[in-house]
Amino acid sequence: MDKMWLQYPELHKELEAVLYIMKENTKCKDKKIENSILDLINSGGKMLRPAFTLISSRFGEYNEERARALAAVIEMMHMATLVHDDVIDDSKLRRGQETIQSKYGKDYAVYIGDFLFCVCFKILASNSSLQSIKVDSKSMSRICLGEVEQLNTRFKTQVSVKDYLSRISGKTAELFSLSLYIGAAEAGCSEKVNRLLWNIGHNIGMAFQIIDDVLDYTSAKSYIGKPAASDIKQGIFTIPIIYALLKDKGSLKDIISKDDYSDYDIANIIFLVNELGGIEKSRELAKKYTDKAYKLINKLPENKYKIVLKEVCETLLNRSY
């Protein structure tokens, strides 16, 4: 678990309980599946989404058992999408460690992701309303469609800023929205507060993904836990390269139109994206979403977790890893 939670002892304790719920509910007869999930749980994820669920539940009538169970569901949904992503991307590393698909093979990885989804809905059946289950199902559909949209646009140079924002709205921001919404909804918050938290999650998620995509151009492998420029190599053209292409006179497009990229090509792409202002424009866009998130957080009812949420966002949206 990320050390950032140590400054919030109560929340840290809750997240430890969430990890325990995840471990208990993913036990199964097939020890390869169980151990691979255990490895993923223990791999040091940030636990952002379950933390948001716990935080949002504090704006209503807090029920410890239910809030922890819902937080576990949110994190396992996230884990399942990561496992499946790694299969599609043929990724070797996740969080600085060997991926499940690399270690156990693609077949097992697909089943492990499916198993995690099954566990999620088993827990939801006992800990949430039918309405929340419907919202969860709809969100998972949007997340899957965001991933499909990314798959369909690989190596395509005609991706617009609007296309990109639509993609990450489903692929990333949707689960951030859900994590903040479901905690509040199941704690009996008003629809106004629920919707406010949903929109906060959307803006946090959008800024988070844009920053993540910038880091693919600016960070070393040791910091981000995956090979630098991995998106470029997979033909996933994110916002820095999309902005750069708007000013490109042909040099950048000539390189990315190739069927395969050498290390020299990758270095040139990164150089040109910087030269054409792609990084700077992307950071400006991330700041717009960040500012929207802060503005909406200020509208929340007063309690100490409003301050925690703002502090977590400041850490999250001003990161270099």
Give the domains, in start order, of the chain with CATH numbers: 3-315 (1.10.600.10)
| pLDDT reported for residue 45 | 84
Residue 179 CB coordination number (10 Å)? 31
- Helix or strand (DSSP H, E) at 97: strand 97-98
Q: What's the chain's Rg over C-alpha atoms?
A: 20
Residue 129 CB coordination number (10 Å)? 12
Q: Give the angle subtended at the CA of 227 by the CAs of 225 and 228, to the nearest 5°.
A: 105
Q: Show contacts of 217-223: CB within 8 Å, 24+ apart.
A: 217/270, 217/273, 217/274, 217/278, 217/279, 218/279, 219/320, 219/321, 221/93, 222/96, 223/320, 223/321
Give CA–CA dist 15/5, Å, rounded: 9
Query: From first to last of its 321 residues, what are the pLDDT tens digits of the chain?
Result: 788 899 999 999 999 999 999 999 999 998 888 998 998 898 878 999 999 999 999 999 999 999 999 999 999 999 999 998 888 888 887 777 888 888 888 888 999 999 999 999 899 888 877 677 777 788 888 888 888 888 888 888 888 999 999 999 999 999 999 999 999 999 999 999 999 999 999 999 999 999 999 988 887 443 444 455 778 888 889 999 999 999 999 899 999 988 788 889 999 999 999 999 999 999 999 999 999 999 999 999 999 999 999 999 998 888 765
